[in-house]
Structures are given as C-alpha cells and as structure tokens.
Structure 1
Amino acid sequence: MPPFRDEVVFVIQIGSQTTKIQYGLPESLTPPQRTVPTRVYNASDGDAKALYSLEGKESEAIYPIRKGRIDNMDALLYLIESLYRTTTNSHTDSPFAPILLTCNSEWQPKQIEEIITYLFKQVHVPAVTIIPESLAALYAYALQIACVVNIGDEKTEITPIVDFNIVESAQSVVEIGGNDINKALESLLPTLQSYQIEELKRSPIYEVLGDKSMSFFGEPSEPATSSMEDEGIVDVAAIVANGNAREILAQREQKKSSKQVDLKNSEMPRNSFVDSKGQTVEVGTERFKGTEDMIEKLSHEIGNVIGKLDDIARRGDCWENIIIVGGPTIIKGFVDAMLLSLQEHFLITRGTTYSELPSGLNTPGYGTPPATPAIYGQTLGHGQVPTTIKLAKMAEYFIGWKGHTWEDAPFLGSQIAAKQIFTPGIASIDGAYVSREDFAEHGAGEIWNLGLL
C-alpha cells in the first residue's frame, strides 16, 4: 500500500502562463491553494552561473515554458524547487512530501528524466510521479475513454485516450489557443489596450452566442416590441386628458429603465465592464466575436484526430466523451459552440443506417468539407461517421469545486491521481511512483515502467 499521508502530498501543474499548487489533499478536494505565474527572474548580476529569484523586474523575467515546451530547464527546476520548499515550509535537506507533477506531450523524455534526477538529488524528495495533463483531465471525469481537448494560451493539445492509455499515433498539437481570441478582438477593437482585451475576454459581457440569429453567426437581432409604449411612442393626448402628465411620464421612465436592466447581455446592442484600472469600457457587438476561426479549426482537428483511431467502436466512444478544458472554456457559450460546430461538421443529421452510406462518402454535412477529402477522409466511409457527439459529463460529487469553472479540471484530476498513487485506501494504485530506493537502483528511467507516460 502507498505509505504517505494525505496531508503531505504535493501536487503541481505547470503551464506556460500559470502554475497551480496544492499541498495536502483534503477529504473533499478543492481548487488549487495557489496559482502563480510560471515565471522567475534573472538574479545573476554578472555571475558566471545563472541565478534566479521569484521576484524582480519585468525586464528580467524568464518564462521557462513556451507553447508547452520547456524553454529554460534551469529556470524551471528553480521554480519547482522554490515553490515546493516555500509551500511545504521545508528548508531542510530531507523533506517528506512526495510530488505529483503534470506534463504535456511537448516535454521530451530526456527533460522528464532530468527533472526527476534533480528532484531526488537536489531537493531530496521521497517519491515522484509524473502524469500527462490530458490523462489528469480524464481522471476528473471518472472515464476510461475520451477525447481530451486542452486549450492553452498558444497551443491546443488534442488527445484520444482509450482504457486510460494515450493513443500517441492519433494525438495532435496545434498552435491555436486563447491568444488567437485576443488577436481577433484587437483587430475588432483597436482602441482598447492589450490588458483591456484580456479583461474583456474574461468579463461577464463577453460570450459566444450559439443562436444563429445572434452574432456568433451574424449580428444580434433587435428585441421584439409589442406596444407603442415599448417602441418609445408617447400618446400625448391620453396624458393630457388624464391631467397628471408629470406623474405618468415619471412612471413611464421608471418602467423603461426597469426593462433595460432586465435585458440579457445578448439582447443589448452595447454593454460595459470595469477594467482593473477602474475605467468603464463600453463594447458593442464585438463582444460576441473573436472565437469563430478558432472554433472552426479546432473542430476539424478534433475530427481528424478521432478519425485516426483504428478501432471504429472506440471512435464512437470518443465522439460521445469530448472533454474540453483550458482557459477559453470560462467564456460563456464557448464549449456549447464547440459542440455545435462538431455536430454540424461530423454528425449524421438524417434518419439513415450505415448500410445506406457509400464507402466513399464525401458529402457536405456528413463529416467533411467537399474540398478536403484527403484530410478528413479517415473519419468517413462505411460505418465510420458518428451518430452521436456529446460532451463528457463532469463528476458532481466534489463539493469544493461547485461553482468553480472547469478550465482547471486537469488539476482536479491530478489531485485524484495523487490520492490514489501516494495514499492508502480502497482505490489505491500500487507501484505508480518512483521512490528514492527505485531511483537509487534504476535511475530516472524507472518512470517509463510505471505505465503513466
């Protein structure tokens, strides 16, 4: 049985922009204790050996990970050790907290082994395990099979997982991410500063509209009116005849204001938010735009990835368990729009049987644009077109995560995995980490024998 207690387990998820940390696993799992920038600062001051600090000027900032790839290993190792020691309050040479670290497909095997070696030799941790972020997302949904779409800042990783095993031959990494939304909004709203664009994207007024009458497909339609008063027409004769014009006009203005307050964001031609500097920023229908190209490209790539699976039945399982995580999922309507796009491109939309579909099927609306049969042909053909496309249903028994956005689902999955790997219990997984003894006998390469990477 795993020998560690819940309260001493250290979980760390490192992304290109932010790093999420948890020390100790409560009985009911919660969102990360700390979220910090994935950033260190150059403190060398002319020294031959590179020195780093967790504080400094932006001009001296170093970002160890770019587009998911490890760009500066020394800076990354310093960040991991510093966060480990400050979070666990361990400044000794023999801390007792085992580490679960997530990675992505852009991390090279030699880099993973270098991290493990450093943690044992320099930080003196008792045990280490590393799992892919996509696999962690799967744990959060309590599934065995899914297609995980992990949208980052500058890249998206699309990973089919079958029976807890990543299908590497089908996995894809595309340079499409949250920054593409920012670029689109910057072209639409050239008067806004970069920080305002980012804050608009995260504000309640920014959303993706799935209704075709709305601006996801066109401009928002005007709210319907049902009376002369609703349309702003004043019956002057009636007011004069009544004899209390002032009171009637005041009531009318109050009613008009009340109706404006009740309008949904999608029904308002303009809406505003307050930025971090206290300025009120008013935005028109541009606040419904900027995601169209991204959603379209990702949808096609998801279809391409699932189409690479050899087992047709497994393709169907993946189509019925699409997991979408990452920053853009906090945008209202984004995930629903992704599902709608997948259904429009790949779903059979008429009553038919597989026997009715020709093996060389290449018809718009049945899986692929007509101009690109070579790219999407793998998803087509006899018995290969999905009849159902669904988003995976998130587990609902984590009370601490209620009301929290599921952009961080991989972190929840990391906590679940850490609990099973390091601590005793009914669901414990034996032999899923590298211990200090394992490292001394077999080296960092022992990580590949665990079956997690």
Structure 2
Amino acid sequence: MSLVFRDHQILVISPGSLTTQAQMGLAESLVPALLETQTKVYRDGSRFATTGSEDQAVWPLKQGEIADEAAFHFFLKSVYKSAVRADAVLPPALYLVSSVAWNRRQLEGLTRYLFEEVGVPALSVCMSGVTNAYAYATANALVIDVGFEKTEISAVVDSEVNLHASRIAPLGGNSINTRLSQLLPDLSETQVEDLKLSGIVETLLGDTTLAEQAEAEVRGKGEEDEGVIDVAAIVSSGRTREILEQRERELKGQVPEKKANADLDQNTFTDRDGVEHTVGRERFNIGHKLIASIIDTVALVHADLKPRAQQQAWEHVIITGRGSAVPGFKVKLLARLEEEFLVSRPPLMPEPIPNDAATMGRQTPSDSDYLTQVPTTIRLAKMADHFPEWKPKGWDTAGFLGAQIGAKQTFTSGFENLFLSRQDYNEVGPSAAADY
C-alpha cells in the first residue's frame, strides 16, 4: 500500500538563483508562496551559517546551475528545518522544484543528503517546466521562464520535460537592470530596480505598448455602451455623488485625457527611500539583448523536437518568470517568436507552389514541405480562472502554483510510484531519484 500524506504534511520548495519560494502545507485554495527568502548562506571557515557578513555570503545557484553543492545542501536543510514545527510527529514530505541545468550526479548527491542528513520521509523532484505546465493545465508546452540571470526554455511533452530539447539562455531579467544602469549611470543599483518595477519602464512593440493595446481593446468594447450608466454599480460603490460629478465633467470635456506612458518624453518614479526621479525615453530602450538571446535559444529547442511535438509545444507557449514582468515584454517577445518561427501556409492552389513562396521568419519551406513544417500557429497558454488569490499578484510566479498542484497529486492521491519514500531509498539508494 502506498504511503499517503495529508495536505499539512507537505513542504514545497522552489529554489531560484536570487530567491527561493517555499510553503509548508497546502491550503484548500492554493495561494502564492507564504515564504520567500534569498538563496544564500554564509561561509564561516569550513562551515556554513544562515547569518553573517556580506563578504561571507555564498550564492549556491548561478544561472540555474548548482555552483556550490555543499552550500546548496545546507541552504535546503535550513529552509526545511525552519518549516518543521517543533511538535510535528512526522517531518513533511518534500516536493522540490528543479532545473534542467542540474545533472544526474548532483541530483543523486542531493537525494542522498536529503534522506540521510535532513531526514525527509519522502521526496519528489519536479522540473520547473512541468510545474509551469501544471499551472496552465496543459500536458504540452514551450515554457520560457525568465529568471534573474538566465532564461530556462523547456519543451514539455506529455507532462515531461524533453531534456534533449531544453536549453538555458544566458541572460535573464537582470540584463534589463544592466541596460538601465548603462543608460542612467546616476542611479544606484537599488534605484534601477525600483525604476524597473515602477511601471514606467516598457518594452515597446513598434509605436505602441502593451498597456496601450489593452486600453484600446477596452475602449473598443465600450464604444457601443457610451452614455450608458451602470446605476447599480454606482450606488453600491458608496461614491454616488463623486462618480456622477466626475462623469458630468468628463462629458463637458473638462477632464483632459491622461497621456499613455509611451507618449511621455519624461516620467517620474519614486524609489524605496521616497526620493522622486525623472527619466526620459531611454526607459524604453531595454530588453533587446534578452529577447535576442531567447530567440536564439528557442531556435535550438525547436530544432531538437519532432514535428508533432513542435506544433503541440507552440500551441501552448508559456512566458513566465519575474524577468518577464516588465510591461510590454511578453507582447514583444511573442511578436518576435511569430516573426522568426511562424510558417505562413498559403491557401490551396491548383498550381504547384513555387520554391520561393513567401514565408515568415526562419522557416522557408518548399512546396513539398508545407505538410511537415511547423509551427503554423503560435498561441499563448491560457491560465484558468479558478485561482482568485493569484490574480492580484499576477502569473509571473505561476510555476509555484503548479508545484502545489503537483505536490497535491503526488503525495495525497495514494497512487504507487509517484515519489521516492524512505523505504524505496533504503532499497535502491540515491540512483532511484531519476525515476521520481
């Protein structure tokens, strides 16, 4: 009989190069991570500690890779131990999110450490590409996860990462900070980060931005309802007089239309110390190197997939990670993906298609290749609507939502062979980690 854990007996840990998310216990309605900490420890001679001076700091993950195994082991142990209550009868099962950059030897060493030194009763290691696919409820996906200093591009086929067709692009969201620092050298490192998160830094798509496109769509939908007042909504708001007076001023043309950020030659932001800064249009000149790096890496991933898997992946593109949170970035990246990879399939013609038929991007098939060349469509995966706690936070960390979904399925279902138990480890050893 398979070992079964309850929701409160499960710990989820998702490590990143800069920060690590964790949560002890799974809520009935899955929520964003309740714990987030920097992925660093401090070296004190031959030992590690959870506190220390910055000159002793060790960041064990670099561009997704485990750069310092001993430091990473200690870090995971400290996160695990801090999550376990002193009166806990049984230590929690661990659901650990991994990267395609971790090799088999590192995974086996980590498994040995977690069972023998940390004392986990059960372990499941799941790649971040799969947890992102879980979040979007799809078994096939092209996952572009823009992290701090790398972008992990995973081809998920039948709910498994195709390791042969997955890659790490060497740039992440921090490359945007580097570019802003070059353009605005008077800003400190923290001020650059505050600027990036302020909402006035955008990646432009031609002459428009993501925000402008959304506003245009809303305006288009609302044109046919112009002049109609939602009385119930106004009354229930408790601001009836204020709203009606505002509407009257608007109808009289007394309220000037607010300019979009992209139309402003200058805009301001306030840093974490309360100081206001004014910046110019250089705030739009960002993201180009990052997008180019992603495009080049996606080309390698695409080439290593079979045609059927290629099209399935392109129909569920997931652009995620905090490095992708800059307004307009996802739209610009999607446009570049379409430009570079989308095959333009002509309508049926009685005559053979000439070899120089126009196509888009890197794909230039001849007339006999149109039946096998893909993708003919590129679509963003759609997030489900039944996770209300995530909507205010956004979907840039949706991989952690998928990790909770995966953890629940793995440890509470009662199905066999979904995780590595202590008994399995004692019988087979750390090499069994690759099977779970």
When normalised by structure 2's length, the TM-score is 0.83
Supply the distance in 1 between the matched residues of 2:352 and 2:294 (Cα, whole angstroms): 26
Please tell me whether the aligned partners of residues 181 and 291 of structure 1 are also in contact (alpha carbons under 8 angstroms): yes
Which amino acid is the alignment partner of residue 170 of structure 1?
A
Instruction: Name 2:237's counterpart in structure 1.
Output: none
Supply the distance in 2 between the matched residues of 1:416 and 1:398 (Cα, whole angstroms): 12
Of the structure 1 ranges 150-159 and 344-353, higher mean CA displacement relative to structure 2 is found in 344-353
Please tell me whether the aligned partners of residues 154 and 175 of structure 1 are also in contact (alpha carbons under 8 angstroms): yes
Report the 3-state secondary structure (helix = DSSP H, G, I; strand = E; otherwise coil) of the residue aligned with 2:165. Answer: coil
Which amino acid is the alignment partner of residue 419 of structure 2?
Y
Supply the distance in 1 between the matched residues of 2:63 and 2:349 (Cα, whole angstroms): 41
Please tell me whether the aligned partners of residues 357 and 382 of structure 1 are also in contact (alpha carbons under 8 angstroms): no
- Select 1:422's aligned residue among 397, 400, 411: 411
Instruction: Name 1:223's counterpart in structure 2.
Output: none
* 2:99 aligned with 1:98: no
Please tell me whether the aligned partners of residues 144 and 318 of structure 2 are also in contact (alpha carbons under 8 angstroms): yes
Displacement of 1:154: 1.8
Supply the distance in 1 between the matched residues of 2:356 and 2:82 (Cα, whole angstroms): 59
Report the 3-state secondary structure (helix = DSSP H, G, I; strand = E; otherwise coil) of the residue aligned with 1:27. Answer: coil
* 2:112 aligned with 1:123: no
Supply the distance in 2 between the matched residues of 1:32 and 1:113 (Cα, whole angstroms): 27
Deviations 1:5-40 (A, max 9, x none): 101100001111000000000111000011100011
Instruction: Name 2:199's counterpart in structure 1.
Output: 204
Supply the distance in 2 between the matched residues of 1:448 and 1:403 (Cα, whole angstroms): 37
Instruction: Name 1:403's counterpart in structure 2.
Output: 392
Displacement of 1:395: 2.0
Instruction: Name 2:238's counterpart in structure 1.
Output: none
Instruction: Name 2:167's counterpart in structure 1.
Output: 172
* 2:33 aligned with 1:14: no
| Identity percentage of aligned residues | 34
CA separation of 1:263 and 1:100: change in aligned 2, threshold 3 A: same
Which amino acid is the alignment partner of residue 176 of structure 1?
L
Instruction: Name 2:4's counterpart in structure 1.
Output: 3
Instruction: Name 2:105's counterpart in structure 1.
Output: 110
1:22-61 alignment to 2 at 5 Å? Answer: 22-44=23-45, 50-61=46-57
Which amino acid is the alignment partner of residue 435 of structure 1?
S
Which amino acid is the alignment partner of residue 295 of structure 2?
S
Which amino acid is the alignment partner of residue 280 of structure 1?
E
* 2:134 aligned with 1:133: no
Displacement of 1:415: 0.6
Report the 3-state secondary structure (helix = DSSP H, G, I; strand = E; otherwise coil) of the residue aligned with 2:81. Answer: helix
Which amino acid is the alignment partner of residue 387 of structure 2?
F
Supply the distance in 2 between the matched residues of 1:141 and 1:271 (Cα, whole angstroms): 36
Supply the distance in 1 between the matched residues of 2:86 and 2:121 (Cα, whole angstroms): 13
- Select 2:362's aligned residue among 361, 365, 368: 368
CA separation of 1:53 and 1:360: change in aligned 2, threshold 3 A: farther
Please tell me whether the aligned partners of residues 10 and 98 of structure 1 are also in contact (alpha carbons under 8 angstroms): yes
Displacement of 1:179: 2.1
**C-alpha RMSD over aligned residues:** 2.8
- Select 2:259's aligned residue among 259, 263, 278: 263
Of the structure 1 ranges 133-142 and 1-10, higher mean CA displacement relative to structure 2 is found in 1-10
1:261-300 alignment to 2 at 5 Å? Answer: 262-300=258-296
Please tell me whether the aligned partners of residues 147 and 160 of structure 1 are also in contact (alpha carbons under 8 angstroms): yes
* 2:383 aligned with 1:382: no
Deviations 1:222-281 (A, max 9, x none): xxxxxxxxxxxxxxxxxxxxxxxxxxxxxxxxx999537x22222222111111122111
Please tell me whether the aligned partners of residues 181 and 192 of structure 2 are also in contact (alpha carbons under 8 angstroms): yes
Of the structure 1 ranges 395-404 and 109-118, higher mean CA displacement relative to structure 2 is found in 395-404
Supply the distance in 2 between the matched residues of 1:181 and 1:394 (Cα, whole angstroms): 26
Report the 3-state secondary structure (helix = DSSP H, G, I; strand = E; otherwise coil) of the residue aligned with 1:259. Answer: coil
Instruction: Name 1:432's counterpart in structure 2.
Output: 418
CA separation of 1:304 and 1:448: change in aligned 2, threshold 3 A: closer
Report the 3-state secondary structure (helix = DSSP H, G, I; strand = E; otherwise coil) of the residue aligned with 1:105. Answer: coil
Which amino acid is the alignment partner of residue 72 of structure 1?
D
- Select 1:65's aligned residue among 46, 61, 64: 61
Supply the distance in 1 between the matched residues of 2:254 and 2:55 (Cα, whole angstroms): 49
Instruction: Name 1:248's counterpart in structure 2.
Output: none
Supply the distance in 1 between the matched residues of 2:73 and 2:324 (Cα, whole angstroms): 30
CA separation of 1:293 and 1:8: change in aligned 2, threshold 3 A: same
Please tell me whether the aligned partners of residues 85 and 91 of structure 1 are also in contact (alpha carbons under 8 angstroms): no
Displacement of 1:165: 2.3
Of the structure 1 ranges 11-20 and 162-171, higher mean CA displacement relative to structure 2 is found in 162-171
Which amino acid is the alignment partner of residue 146 of structure 1?
A
Which amino acid is the alignment partner of residue 367 of structure 1?
G
Displacement of 1:381: 4.3
Report the 3-state secondary structure (helix = DSSP H, G, I; strand = E; otherwise coil) of the residue aligned with 1:99. Answer: strand
Instruction: Name 1:230's counterpart in structure 2.
Output: none
- Select 1:83's aligned residue among 54, 72, 79: 79
Displacement of 1:308: 2.4
Where structure 1 has 5 or more consecutive residues not aligned to the other structure, the ranges are 45-49, 217-254
Of the structure 1 ranges 327-336 and 19-28, higher mean CA displacement relative to structure 2 is found in 327-336
Please tell me whether the aligned partners of residues 144 and 319 of structure 2 are also in contact (alpha carbons under 8 angstroms): yes
CA separation of 1:272 and 1:423: change in aligned 2, threshold 3 A: same
CA separation of 1:15 and 1:362: change in aligned 2, threshold 3 A: farther
Q: Considering only CA atoms, is the larger Rg found in Structure 1 or Structure 2?
A: 1
When normalised by structure 1's length, the TM-score is 0.80
- Number of matched pairs: 392
* 2:131 aligned with 1:143: no
CA separation of 1:304 and 1:118: change in aligned 2, threshold 3 A: closer
- Select 2:207's aligned residue among 195, 205, 213: 213
Please tell me whether the aligned partners of residues 215 and 289 of structure 1 are also in contact (alpha carbons under 8 angstroms): no
Which amino acid is the alignment partner of residue 361 of structure 2?
G
CA separation of 1:354 and 1:122: change in aligned 2, threshold 3 A: farther
CA separation of 1:257 and 1:153: change in aligned 2, threshold 3 A: farther
Supply the distance in 2 between the matched residues of 1:37 and 1:279 (Cα, whole angstroms): 26
Of the structure 1 ranges 434-443 and 294-303, higher mean CA displacement relative to structure 2 is found in 294-303
